Structure 1
């Protein structure tokens, strides 16, 4: 009888494993078909070659990777490095919330207040930093994009140089310039730039997150009794070997540190009159708001562990990150974190020639990373199609696994 029971159990396990194997094959085929179709449709809409489109999924139904190349695309794997751009903002938010947990700062402190236990303010008290409404803005409002901080990197509607944003002008004419948060707030101060008082308007702002990077550096310097940078804190407490979930993610801060780790994927921009390869980049222009470098696998480990409160943040901190929206917010954006309905929480990123998104759904334990190393700037409608492809791909990837 015992022998029969063992045989029955063995047959059951074989049948179960066989079903799981068949499911995995079917899910992979579904995913491959979805990615191929999205890539093909995008090429038809844009009437041009799209280098590649890649997806990486981790879920209770398995781990899946799918990629498709255009005629001129390079090989992309889940371990390939790329510039993940504004996904960096979620890391910056995690750093601020970690400092809050440790009692190093208070989210609702004004940025002109003193760092707890010191006589040093969160931001410099120099004339360069005397931008409008400075004394009314809190750390939380910066994280929410509710601070009214004019976006010097992206917005040229109120201030530009020869039709370009300050950042684009500097990168084109002084490609090796060492950027700092002070560079940006000086532009705010000297030109009286603002979107309005805090909590009166929601406006996405890279410059607001540049200010947060300066706050992180100043707080860490005070707590360490030594001069520290944003990158130092990220390495020591968020992603480095001594962090809770070590990852080989980089946050370059020097203008000269342009080389991506090997293996890497090149970014590609298509203009009306020429094409541009963009893997070599002065990332100092985007500290704290877009200077992150990593792989799909690394981003997946990060967003999954973070959102499950298995990384540096507690469950209550994660709840704030997901849900603490400003009164002026008209989107699904909270503290350096957005929500894509039906897919999950996380962020996306767009930096010269690279588009990506990382999302995690706590209800299904599903995470997805999408990378499209391509911008079509022949017109803004084309670029919007590229950007929209991120969410479309993430949603179709989830459907491919029958969620």
Structure 2
């Protein structure tokens, strides 16, 4: 697997140099700005004569056609799944001759995983298994074990001050070895550096903390700033493992807890959603859609099989649009594993420096609460709007990195088009769209 270095949207957000494999799992940062970048829209009353499903399809088709025109490349598909209080709509816009995907087609949803991690932490808090306000060095309730190992390989800067809540909020200052460059690795992140040389490498949390220890990397003191950190969520996945193992008296994984309590057959809302953590667990179930990625060199690559062991808890999930919609809708309505007061906490417990960013979720104007993500050619948005009771999942399995410095111009067009399609689908159904 070849490395893909990239400076994402640098002119928009002044991000530091990072890598393209997982940088846009941090795309949640951009979501709150999308509404500022887009104009207003309203449905034409004359369009009400056209059946609603046709209006949604035509709206998504128009966005995909516009993206193709901007990029001068064929876009394989642009997909939106919408559920209102009374109906469900699905549009898969594809070029002539291509087969549309279905609502049950599997794909990798990347950093949307963070919302599941936050749900797991809050479910454990709700059940009295942990205290999300606790420091990571504090003891797991009812045990003599701290939340993270009391070993030298976990002695990252400010370890004694970091709380579980700060990790959820990206306010702990934990350096992100997945997105940001690590000294001595030719300007690459640690995860990209390793994967580009051995695509079968099995990552561990301890291994990913080692560059932080070796170079004493830290963004800021805990609670004094905001910086998106995949590595912070890898730490949360380890906390979930330790708490669940302590409760069960045997070794358990992050995936075990999610399966047993959040998505599996014994959960409140069972769904086919998986979180692979083994380096050799790279195959998506059928039916699935592979992503397409135009590199800066102009070479076109396809991704489907992918080693997710370096993304546990922050970006390793896969499922379908229908399942993600059911999950976010039931969760945000208080009808899933979290009680309504815990859902409210998830939505509103924001950091001091970024109050709009709460616990594994954010508020997107006229779209609602949710998360987005991107990895290896996939772009995903999952949201629920309590004002209209409309849930929505948008997915674009396509990246173009051929325009602008390090590909940021053409990538931005792809990213924005996913949001354009989401807003356009809402407007087609008579709901508020671009603010």
TM-score (norm 1): 0.91
> Does the Cα contact within 8 Å between 1:93 and 1:336 map onto a contact in 2?
yes
Give the corresponding residue for 1:385: 413
Q: Distance in 1 between matches of 2:235 and 2:184?
A: 20
Q: Is 1:340 aligned to 2:367, yes or no?
A: no
Give the corresponding residue for 2:330: 305
Q: Distance in 2 between matches of 1:160 and 1:243?
A: 45
> Does the Cα contact within 8 Å between 1:24 and 1:61 map onto a contact in 2?
no
> Does the Cα contact within 8 Å between 1:61 and 1:401 map onto a contact in 2?
no
The one-character-per-residue Cα deviations of 1:111-168 (angstroms, maximum 9, x if unpaired) are 0111111111111122111110111110001001111111111112x63612321111
Runs of 4+ displaced beyond 6 Å: none
Q: Distance in 2 between matches of 1:24 and 1:134?
A: 61
Q: Is 1:65 aligned to 2:95, yes or no?
A: no
Give the corresponding residue for 1:280: 305
Q: Distance in 1 between matches of 2:130 and 2:420?
A: 38
Give the match's secondary structure for 1:306: helix
- Structure with max Cα Rg: 1
Give the match's secondary structure for 1:283: coil
Q: Is 1:197 aligned to 2:221, yes or no?
A: yes
The one-character-per-residue Cα deviations of 1:50-100 (angstroms, maximum 9, x if unpaired) are 111000111124110001113685531101000011110000000000000
Give the match's secondary structure for 1:285: coil
Q: Is 1:266 aligned to 2:293, yes or no?
A: no
Matched positions, count: 380
Match of 1:250 among 248, 266, 274: 274
Q: Distance in 2 between matches of 1:343 and 1:176?
A: 38
Q: Distance in 2 between matches of 1:54 and 1:160?
A: 41
> Does the Cα contact within 8 Å between 2:78 and 2:418 map onto a contact in 1?
no
Higher helix residue share? 1
Higher relative contact order (CA 8 A, sep 6+): 2
The one-character-per-residue Cα deviations of 1:11-43 (angstroms, maximum 9, x if unpaired) are xxxxxxxxxxx9695221221121011111111
Query: Mapping of 1:2-401 within 5 angstroms?
Result: 26-70=51-95, 74-156=99-181, 159=183, 161-273=185-297, 274-329=299-354, 332-378=356-402, 379-401=407-429
C-alpha RMSD of the superposition:
1.5
Q: Distance in 2 between matches of 1:70 and 1:134?
A: 51
Give the corresponding residue for 2:430: 402
Give the match's secondary structure for 1:284: coil
The one-character-per-residue Cα deviations of 1:306-326 (angstroms, maximum 9, x if unpaired) are 000100001111001111110
Alignment gaps of 5+ in structure 1: 1-21
Alignment gaps of 5+ in structure 2: 1-46
